[in-house]
Structure 1
Amino acid sequence: MSVGAFLITFREALEAAIIVAIIIAYLRRTGRAGQIKDVWIGTALSVGVSLLLGIGILRLYGGLGEKELFEGIASYLAVIVLTTMIYWMATKGRNIKEEIESKVSTAIASLALIGFTFIVVFREGLETVLFLTPFMTQNPSGTLLGLVAGLAGALILAYLIYGLGMRIDLRKFFYFSSILLVFVAAGLAGYGTHELIEWAEEEGYSLGVFASTAYDLGIPSDSVWHHKGAIGSVFAVLFGYSVSMEWGRVIVQFGYLLVALYLVLRAYGKGPAMDRKRRAAESAA
């Protein structure tokens, strides 16, 4: 099972489940319970379109000759969208409940509610498709297992929270999951760079030191510590680990990691630990 696919799907599916739960709770609270069926229609349509989009992208990939170019571009695109999602959740996600309820309050007609639900849920589905495409091209079966496990885990957690009333600090959850996803995104940026370097070399482009080897650990391909081995592959997905890297990959991967971590930590106010220090300082004052 692809750990990266599981983590991304779990996060995205949980966000979608939270959005749907907020809409349904608002409809019940405002005496519009009869429109809940419209929410489920919009959700079903968004899931169906997301699946069709994913199948279409994979069919396109299968028909391409220059797979390194496709994988490189797909990885970069996933990193851009993933980074945007992480930063948006860090800066705007705290007001997501108010924003959704405000939009639902104006979506009185059934078609308007179906359309709004479709849009907000499809956004999560589109992000999931874009994120999983690079993983699917590398490990289709593992990615599919990660997708199913992520969906199941997110739905179970959403039911525990909104169905059984289990209390969980969602902001803290999204904070720590965002940190982990930054490492996943950095690995994707590095992998995409590696694929683009390979494509450029095959096309006869000279990249100089950018394509030269920065390091090589000398670990054989049949070792469990190889980035395609049983243990190494987990670190490869989560942290962008590889037994060898070009200088271009090192620069892009670790450059992205430093910048993205700084932005996420700053957006979250330097995280829960700093929040505790701030509250302690306020109490002492």
Structure 2
Amino acid sequence: MLAPFLIMLREGIEAALLTSIIAGYLKQTGRGAWLPAVWVGVLLAVALSLFAGTLLQMMAAEFPQKAQELFEAIVGLVAVTVLVSMVFWMRKAARSIQTDLRGAIDAALKEPAGEPGTTAPVSAAWPLIGMTFFAVGREGLESVFFLLAIFQQSPGPLAPIGALLGLVVAVGLGVALYRGGIRLDLRRFFRWTGVFILIVAAGLASASLRSLHEAGLWNHLQARAYDLSDTLPVSSVLGTVLSGVFNYQDAPAIGEAIVYGLFLLTTLIVFLKPPRPAPLRRAAPDSLKG
């Protein structure tokens, strides 16, 4: 329950942050009349995400057993790829995302930021709808793959409930951010949720390898790496929690343990590495000035 909650909380806050920046800038610059275009883009993105999730779920239900295992492996690998790209993209883009979005809005409405009195053509609504649609739709489609992968590993009602609660909290925080009611340390928030998501991604990568084995496509390194079924079985309360959050297995194969460890070690080292400081520009020599 905790994993889908935190993933949907992060995804929802990312989508809400992008939407609130767009809506807030329109309001600040006297362009509030364009806000309906923002909400149209949001609704279209939500509809696309729901359609994609329903379609993928229906496709999976029609597959025979081995094909379902292969489908689960593919969904898991796609989710891992998208999770990692999302974490590193936000780490890089967080510094300039507000400036970039504001520049895109000005370009879409073809109106200088300092002259809100002029009227942009109606056709400018389409770029604004598209900007919001792609910003929110990206997060929505990412969420579809995350949730499908997690639901496949954690059947039962707790995972969907956790995802729904995360989305509700994210919407509430997004409204508060838009209205200026709260201030979040977004750098710290994305940093620590990024670490958690990389741990979840490591579990999904390991589970994808197990699904490939069950589909008959991977039969190497299948000896047990360790066996904690007597000490901490998955069926215990703590084992169930660890399995739902980190995809814990009490007796994983050697290949699964290697994938989990190498993936987590590599991504955490790169993610937690301090960014390089921007190079200082040298002042031009006096002989070149003037």
Normalised-by-shorter TM-score class: 0.7 to 0.9
The Cα offsets for residues 180-224 of structure 1, whole Å up to 9 and x where unpaired, read as 111111111111111112222xx6x642xx11211111239xxxx
Q: Does 1:216 align with 2:227?
A: yes
Three-state SS of the structure 1 residue aligned to 2:170 is helix
The alignment status of 1:134 with 2:170, answered yes or no, reads no
Query: Residue type of the partner of 1:128?
Result: S
Amino acid at match of 1:212: A
TM-score of the pair, normalised by structure 1: 0.86
Structure 2 contact 17–177 (Cα < 8 Å) conserved: no
Runs (5+) with no aligned partner, structure 1: 270-285
Instruction: Determine the structure 2 residue equivalent to 1:55.
Output: 54
2:70/2:212 contact within 8 Å kept: yes
Map Cα deviations across residues 195-254 of structure 1 (whole Å, 9 max, x no partner). 112222xx6x642xx11211111239xxxx433543322212333321011011011111
Instruction: Report SS of the residue matched to 1:259.
Output: helix
Does the CA contact (< 8 Å) of 1:10 and 1:153 recur in 2? yes
Question: Where in structure 2 are the equivalents of 1:61-72 lying within 5 Å?
Answer: 61-65=60-64, 66-72=67-73
Deviation, structure 1 residue 6 = 1.0
Contact 1:5 1:132 in 2 (8 A): yes
1:26 is aligned with what amino acid? Y
Partner Cα separation in structure 1 for residue 226 and residue 250 of structure 2: 8
Offset, 1:75:
0.8
User: Is 1:244 aligned to 2:234, yes or no?
Assistant: no
Aligned length: 259
Task: Report if the CA contact (8 A) 1:91-1:268 is conserved.
Answer: no
Task: Tell me, yes or no, if structure 1 residue 77 matches structure 2 residue 93.
Answer: no
SS of structure 2 residue aligned to 1:124 = helix
The 3-state SS of whatever aligns with 1:38 is helix
Q: Distance in 1 between matches of 2:62 and 2:157?
A: 19
**CA 1:87 to 1:78, structure 2 compared with 1: closer, same or farther past 3 Å?**
same
Matched, 1:185 2:201: yes
Query: 3-state DSSP class of the match of 1:214?
Result: coil
Tell me, yes or no, if the aligned pair for 2:227 and 2:251 is still in contact at 8 Å: yes
Cα drift, residue 267 of structure 1: 5.4
Offset at residue 130 of structure 1 (A): 1.0
AA aligned opposite 2:3: G
Higher helix share: 1
Max radius of gyration: which structure?
Answer: 2
Q: In terms of mean alpha carbon deviation, does 171-180 or 161-170 score higher?
A: 161-170
Q: Distance in 2 between matches of 1:55 and 1:254?
A: 33
Letter in 2 for 1:247: I
- The answer to which of 244-253 and 63-72 deviates more is 63-72
Q: Which residue of 1 aligns with 2:134?
A: 119
Q: Deviations over 1:8-46 (max 9, x none)?
A: 111001100011100011111222110001000100010
For structure 2, list consecutive stretches of 5 or more residues without a partner in the other structure.
110-123, 277-290
> Matched residues in 2 for 1:112 and 1:258: separation?
41
Residues 183 and 257 in structure 1, CA contact (< 8 A), matched pair in contact too = yes
Partner of 2:287: none
TM-score by length of 2: 0.84
Write the deviation string for residues 117-139 of structure 1: whole angstroms up to 9, x where unpaired: 11111000010001111122232
Using the alignment, how far apart are the partners of 2:127 and 2:54 within structure 1? Answer: 28
Query: In 1, Cα distance between the equivalents of 2:229 and 2:46?
Result: 44
Corresponding residue of 1:106: 107
How far apart are the structure 1 equivalents of 2:235 and 2:33? Answer: 51
